Structure 1
Amino acid sequence: MEKLAIIDMGSNSIRFVVMQIADNQSYSLLYQEKEAIRLGHGLSQTGVISEEGMQRALTCLHVYKHIMEVMDIHECRAVATAAVRNASNGEAFLKRINAETGITMNVITGEREAYLGYLGVINTIAMKDFLIFDLGGASVEMTLVRDGEAVHSLSVPIGAVTLTEKFGTQGNPDSEAIASLMKFVRKKMAAVPWIEDIQLPIVGIGGTARNFAKMDQRATNYELSKLHNYIMPLEHFENLYHEITTRTSANRKKIDGLSSERSDLIVAGAAVIKTIFDMTGSPEMVVSGCGLREGLFFEYYASYCQLPSPRFDDILDFSVKNFIGTLSGIIINQAHYDQVTRIATQLFDQLQPLHGYGPRERLLLQTAARMHDVGKIINFYNHARHSAFMIAHAPLYGLTQVEQIITGFIAGFHHGISRKIIRAYRYANMASAEDWIMIRKLSTILALAEASDLTYEQIVTDVEVTLAENVAVMIITTAPGSTYNAADYEMKQLSKQFKKEFGASLLLVWK
């Protein structure tokens, strides 16, 4: 068992997280804390971190040090970014931190900050070609990713705090002030020529990007409050940008979803994102809740577990295994999980002429099969329903938000389709009518696979389906000497459901 504390001290806020790595190498978040310390306040005018800002930071760091002692944490990765990097008294401040708290904090370069943000994104969002921007209080880190590799990276010394102070946008800026702000940001961003007209999705890290996602979710009545991997179309951003830059300070604070602690910085932050949209020609912004801190953790995790790289090849497979590994409260019957997944995949492939789905739907079915029983950690009774909720909210990476919800529904019906689950589950409307047709078909396949291993003996060695005259003949081969009566009975209970979803009768033939 290993515990790691991570401290990220930025220009606007300081964050503290504690991660745990179990003996089976699964990891989980144990603790998280955040405070707005405004360390960069006044830095653009004076060139130094103020005593007030340092005191706010030290107050937090004393608390974090105490928490580390209480939780018996001996490993800590503490980094400071643009405010300390740019301040003439930054080095002296770090020495003071060490002397007063015992915490050793290091300043990281803009390039290092960009790389850590890249690690946080590439391991948690399944995209290959995109532009990352990490907008902080005093800088914005830009990384262009092609085929999953970071090909260009640069730190631009503009941020939400420094721009707000320079142009006074915390109050009621007029159109002239906004125009001056945009002109200045565009001039600074000209240092990043490789983003011009790339027309790739942009991935936003940082509080401003997350706050835009939250405002958009409220404006569109989006049912899921999860911010990570939320996709925001350009049109939605433009609408919010207009609201933010034309309202008075008092009315701006009334925008649903706008954080009270960020309302004074949002105009400057919006200007940076607007400039990035304009320069890149990007159609949408994907919001990442993972960035520098996750990048620091993945580096440590890879070293601790002796992995060849801190970048994972298959992030969905890795995150599913990791999540299951954290469920120490239940006995994981991995042989049953593997068997159900194998049979469900075989049935999907052989029933393809009836359902017509492809590789993506196949992946959703496999993911649901691999996690279909996780709800038992809550309660055995209604565990399919609990599994649906857990899958929808688990830290799974490699699926879109809607795909994760759909995967939960597929797993939720592995004992048969239940209207009770549909009525009770609040995210039912996130799936379209076409999605629900697919969910019902795939959940029927999963239910049949689950029923085939009813006794947890893995007796089925092979399944072959023959389709003829609206009949699906399922030839099931079993291990020598095995008893299949229970599985046969359970699978036959699904015949009516199969006929309804696939339009064909089901005939079971056991070998």
Structure 2
Amino acid sequence: MEQLAIIDMGSNSIRFVIAQIKDNKSYSYVYQDKATIRLGQGLTDTGTLTREGRDKAMKCLRVYKHIMEIRHITNCFAVATAAVRDASNGAEFLKEIREETGIDMTVIPGEREAYLGYLGTINTIDIQDCLIFDLGGASVELTLVRKREIVHSVSVPLGAVTVTERFNTQGAVTEETLSSCLKYLRKTLASVKWLRDINLPLVGIGGTARNLAKMDQRARDYELPTIHNYILSKENFMSVFQEVTKRNSSSRKKIPGLSSERADVIVAGSAVVKTIFDLSGSDTLIVSGCGLREGLLYEYYAKRYGLKSPRFPDILDFSVNNLLGNLENLNRPHMEQVAKVTAMLFDGLKPLHGYDDRIRRLLVTAALLHDIGKRVNFYNHARHSAFMIGHAPIYGMTQREQMIAAFIAGFHHGISRKIQRAYRYANIPTEEDWEIVRKMSVLLALAEASDHTYENIVEKINVTINDDAVVIVLTPKAGAPYEPADYTMQQYTKAFKKEFGLPLVLVWK
């Protein structure tokens, strides 16, 4: 097992994470810290890093160094971005850091910063074409992605802190000031010729994007407190934008979801996002909780294991296996057998349910993870599995899809309206989604029942759909006793008829 540290020192904040890579190649984060240091404050006027900002950063770095020492971590990736990159005394500050803490920090150019943000995004959000923006305190990195490949990338010296200082948007903002700010931003960003009218979804990285998501979630009473992969429409963004621009700094702090530490820079940050919306013609913002730090980890991971690329071809498959690798004492052969049988049932019954391959993927994911709740408690483990699936770092699904998969697993011991109403986040799936959950959970229940004794006996399934019944012929391993599986599967025939409208007949060949 290996632990490595990652430090990201930006213009507004500094972040520190410790990642752990187990011998089975699964990784997880075991520690994180974030502090607002405003290293880029005053940079617009003086061109230098202030003593106050440097002292705040150094205080954090001393703590991080101590944590690395007590954990015996020798592998550290420490990077500095726009503020240090642009400051005349940036190199001097890095030398000071090295002498006082022993941390060898590297300034990365804007293009590399954009690339790392791209890696963190493309490995955690299932999207083919998009415009990624990483908005920091002193710069914004823009990356145009088509078919998961970088087409264009650029770093523009516009950040939430520097734009705030330029237009004094910390407090109340007049219409004239806001108009001047937006005019300046449009003129600056319009120099990026390929940005105009691309009409692709935006993917936002950074504190501004995360706070926009949090404010929208609170305004909509959105139940799931997950920021990563949260979808914000332009219409909803404009509602948030109007809210933050009509208030002064102290009043902004009262907006639900807005961090008090970001209340003074949110107007400038939101103005940059609005300008990107307007120029690109986009109508959707997907918020990413992953970025540069994850990009550094994935780059290292790929080199460590000799992968062809740090961009994973199937992020859902990778993250599911990574999650399972971090959970001990699970019966993987049983979970894989249940997933196999579930897929066979789905395929055989497709003329009856009519669902597409995407629903099949959600069902198989639920099947692979249906027993992870046993790590909490064997009793009621289906409901524990649902909670874990809904909150785990499983990438490659939307938040809604992840909750559908969670609920399918949650009902693999049977479904009832009473339990459904009692579930937290039950309002995220639509009524149509709940119909999917009910039908697919019956298939998962039947599949799990077919391996009730953990002997993996079912090898083949043949489904015949008649006008008056559904006949499922199961072929077990030669000589394998199928009576326990049949006994358990029979318990779900009533639920099958309720959900699919036809009686179920089970035949063992």
How would you bin the TM-score normalised by the shorter chain?
over 0.9
Look up the SS of the partner of 2:145 in the other structure.
strand
Partner of 1:114: 114
Task: Measure the CA separation in 1 of the matches of 2:411 and 2:245.
Answer: 47
Q: Percent identity?
A: 63
Look up the SS of the partner of 1:172 in the other structure.
coil
Partner of 2:351: 353
Partner of 1:84: 84
* Letter aligned with residue 72 of structure 1: H
Partner of 2:493: 495
| 1:151-208 per-position Cα deviation (integer Å, ceiling 9, x unaligned) | 1000000100001111100011211111111111111102211010111100000000
Partner of 1:308: 308
Task: Measure the CA separation in 1 of the matches of 2:346 and 2:491.
Answer: 19
| 1:416-463 per-position Cα deviation (integer Å, ceiling 9, x unaligned) | 214454243211111111111110000000100100111111111101
Partner of 1:471: 469
Say whether the 8 Å CA contact 1:470–1:503 is kept in structure 2: no
Higher alpha-carbon deviation: 416-425 or 313-322: 416-425
Task: Measure the CA separation in 1 of the matches of 2:188 and 2:484.
Answer: 70
Partner of 2:162: 162
Task: Measure the CA separation in 2 of the matches of 1:267 and 1:508.
Answer: 63
| 1:308-348 per-position Cα deviation (integer Å, ceiling 9, x unaligned) | 211100000000000000002xx222211111111111110
Say whether the 8 Å CA contact 1:385–1:421 is kept in structure 2: no
| 1:30-69 per-position Cα deviation (integer Å, ceiling 9, x unaligned) | 0000000000111110010011111111000000000001
Task: Measure the CA separation in 2 of the matches of 1:381 and 1:265.
Answer: 48
Task: Measure the CA separation in 2 of the matches of 1:412 and 1:52.
Answer: 51
* Letter aligned with residue 150 of structure 1: I
TM, length-normalised to structure 1: 0.99
The answer to whether structure 1 residue 4 and structure 2 residue 21 are counterparts is no
Partner of 1:124: 124
Partner of 2:50: 50
Alignment of 1:200-215 (within 5 A): 200-215=200-215
> By how many angstroms is 1:244 displaced?
1.3
Task: Measure the CA separation in 1 of the matches of 2:466 and 2:162.
Answer: 70
Look up the SS of the partner of 2:132 in the other structure.
strand
How many residues are aligned here?
509
Higher alpha-carbon deviation: 166-175 or 248-257: 248-257
Superposed CA RMSD? 0.9
| 1:95-139 per-position Cα deviation (integer Å, ceiling 9, x unaligned) | 000000000000000000000000000000000000000000000
Look up the SS of the partner of 2:261 in the other structure.
coil
* Letter aligned with residue 69 of structure 1: E
The answer to whether structure 1 residue 144 and structure 2 residue 141 are counterparts is no
Partner of 1:275: 275
Task: Measure the CA separation in 1 of the matches of 2:115 and 2:355.
Answer: 38
Partner of 1:256: 256
| 1:218-274 per-position Cα deviation (integer Å, ceiling 9, x unaligned) | 000000010000000000001111111122333222211111000000010011000
User: Could you list the runs of 5+ residues in structure 2 that have no partner in the other structure?
Assistant: none
Task: Measure the CA separation in 2 of the matches of 1:147 and 1:210.
Answer: 25
Task: Measure the CA separation in 1 of the matches of 2:169 and 2:292.
Answer: 27
Partner of 1:407: 405
User: Could you list the runs of 5+ residues in structure 1 that have no partner in the other structure?
Assistant: none
The answer to whether structure 1 residue 178 and structure 2 residue 171 are counterparts is no
Higher alpha-carbon deviation: 301-310 or 113-122: 301-310
Task: Measure the CA separation in 2 of the matches of 1:170 and 1:333.
Answer: 55
Task: Measure the CA separation in 2 of the matches of 1:400 and 1:297.
Answer: 23
Say whether the 8 Å CA contact 1:460–1:476 is kept in structure 2: yes
Partner of 2:323: 323
4+ residue segments displaced more than 4 Å: none
Say whether the 8 Å CA contact 2:80–2:108 is kept in structure 1: yes
Say whether the 8 Å CA contact 2:190–2:279 is kept in structure 1: no
TM, length-normalised to structure 2: 0.99
* Letter aligned with residue 248 of structure 1: N
Task: Measure the CA separation in 1 of the matches of 2:370 and 2:422.
Answer: 18
